[in-house]
Structure 1
Amino acid sequence: MIVRSRFTLGAAMTAIALGLAACAPLSVTAPDTVVTRNAAPAFELQGRLSASDGQQAASGRVEWQHVRGTHHFTLLTPLGQVVAQLDADALGARLQTADGQVLSADSAEALLPQVLGVDVPIGRLGLWVQAAPGPEAEIRNRDSAGRPALVIDLGWRIEYLDYAGESADAPPARLDISRGDARIRLVIDSWTTLP
């Protein structure tokens, strides 16, 4: 009887020790290399986007051409009808909606919330979609190839869920951008660096 009790107590202690070891955090290994990514001054992307401010949500296809300070941003329904077009350059920004409404502002940042429903900085968004955050951004995590996996910038959390390839310079393929209730999910189907 005594031997059995000791065996049961020993087995219980072993089970507890193994259980606690299973709860221990996994060690995170640093990537072999840390990749420095430079933002291209001109690019074009096409993809699928969903955005929400916590109360309202919108989704559809997006086409975005950025060429040295100019933006041509088109949001389309999943069936391909244009919902809104935003054009911006150094002189200002102009938004035209599907119902014929035209709005003007000094910058694209003033009108982009009308398109997405989320007040996101378009200048930073151009860096985020390239996984090339500015020097003031904090890269919290990197993937095994040394590319950004989690970035914090201006209070925004940018998670890189997938890249378009294994190489260090592959562009992002899936991003989740959030701050508070605001969230943008972007799946990039095609990416072109322009001259």
Structure 2
Amino acid sequence: MLLLALGASLALTACAPLLPSSPAGGTPAAARTALPAFLLEGRLSASDGVQGASGRLEWQHTPDADTLVLLSPLGQIAARLDSSAEGARLSTADGAIIEAPSADLLLPRVLNVDIPAARLRLWVQAVTDGSAEVRLRDTAGRPVLLIDRGWRIEYAAYADDSAQALPTRVDISRGDARIRLIADSWTILP
């Protein structure tokens, strides 16, 4: 009878979902909040499995607007994406100007990856809004692996060992889509 109860218990346990784990004996989650305004300078590579793009990135975020400038490896502006509540405007190196209701509709034209621009602000800061699932945390309680709307966000490095440190390397993927962001500098804006 004991073996039957043990077998049933193991069978039920095998069907139970795995809970997120954290190393170091259950390190509690670090309280992280999104920066209201920042300047992120770094490098970006993106691929849809067929085509790829890479270069430098300058992203200024404020509560009211975002300006994302993508530069070629030689330092020339490849594209500039300005967005706010009123809409988005993409200016390309060849002089084309495309407008849309949101950056979500224009950023894929630049990166060849259909990534949600509205979620990217949180992902690059290793912050969740409660709808994402943190699957793994480091010893400081920071996210190491995050799953959000089918996207896998991995934090390979942070600026320092503190719980509030900003990520310096973020790998984002879904299917064949891959984006790698390396943050060379973060500036917190007033």
Fold match by TM threshold 0.5 = yes
* TM-score normalised by the chain length of structure 1: 0.84
Q: Which segments of 5 or more consecutive residues in structure 1 lack a partner in the other structure?
A: 1-26
Please report how far the alpha carbon of residue 33 of structure 1 lies from its aligned counterpart in structure 2 after TM superposition.
3.3
Q: Do residues 124 (structure 1) and 95 (structure 2) align?
A: no
- Counterparts of 2:27 and 2:126 in 1: how far apart (Å)? 18
AA of the residue aligned to 2:37 = A
The answer for the alignment partner of 1:170 in structure 2 is 165
Q: Which moved more, 1:65-74 or 1:27-36?
A: 27-36
1:46-80 CA-to-partner distances (Å, cap 9, x unmatched) read: 00000001110000000001111411000001121
AA of the residue aligned to 1:101 = A
AA of the residue aligned to 1:192 = T
Which SS does the other structure have where 1:183 is aligned?
strand
For residue 185 of structure 1, the aligned residue among 162, 167, 180 is: 180
Which SS does the other structure have where 2:120 is aligned?
helix
Larger radius of gyration: 1
1:150-161 map, 5 Å: 150-161=145-156
The answer (yes or no) to whether the contact 1:150–1:160 under 8 Å persists in 2 is yes
Which SS does the other structure have where 1:120 is aligned?
coil
Give the number of aligned pairs: 169
Which SS does the other structure have where 1:115 is aligned?
helix
AA of the residue aligned to 2:54 = S
* TM-score normalised by the chain length of structure 2: 0.86
- Counterparts of 1:78 and 1:134 in 2: how far apart (Å)? 33
The answer for the alignment partner of 2:31 in structure 1 is 36
Q: Extract structure 1 runs of 4+ deviating beyond 6 A.
A: none
Identical-residue share of aligned pairs (%):
60
The alignment yields a C-alpha RMSD, in angstroms, of 1.3
